[in-house]
Amino acid sequence: MDILALLLLIAFGGWFWSDSTQARETALAAAARFCKQTDVQFLDQTVTLSHLKPARATSGHIILQRVYRFEFCTTGAERYPGFVTMKGQKMTLIELDHPDGKVIS
């Protein structure tokens, strides 16, 4: 029984790592694309996981909701935070804490 539990734990860890890597890549591409569209500079070319929690999909089943944080600038002098919300592998929201007011997509 201990071997079965260990194998299940390893399988879950592998799935979680793979799922997280895919979600991060999608969030990174979405943040870069959105910054280009809104004419701001995407800094450091990276996103970091800010929040992770269970959520409901539109179909009703439980999925993971991840919020990734990134930084951008408008003039090159100040850094401002932005956030990409992912439900499963789908990007659902991008938010820029822009100095002129929030920009939400």
Cα–Cα distance list, 79 to 5, 30, 57, 98, 99 (Å): 46, 19, 33, 10, 10
pLDDT band at 1 (very low <50, low <70, confident <90, very high): low
Give the whole-angstrom CA distance, residue 42 versus residue 79. 10
Better-predicted residue by pLDDT, 98 or 34: 34
| pLDDT score of 11 more than 70 | yes
Per-residue model confidence (pLDDT) at position 57: 86
Better-predicted residue by pLDDT, 98 or 50: 50
Q: Enter the tokens of residue 62.
A: 């439980």
Give the whole-angstrom CA distance, residue 39 versus residue 21. 27
Q: Kindly report the three-state secondary structure assignment for every residue of 48-65.
A: EEEEEEEEECCCCCEEEE
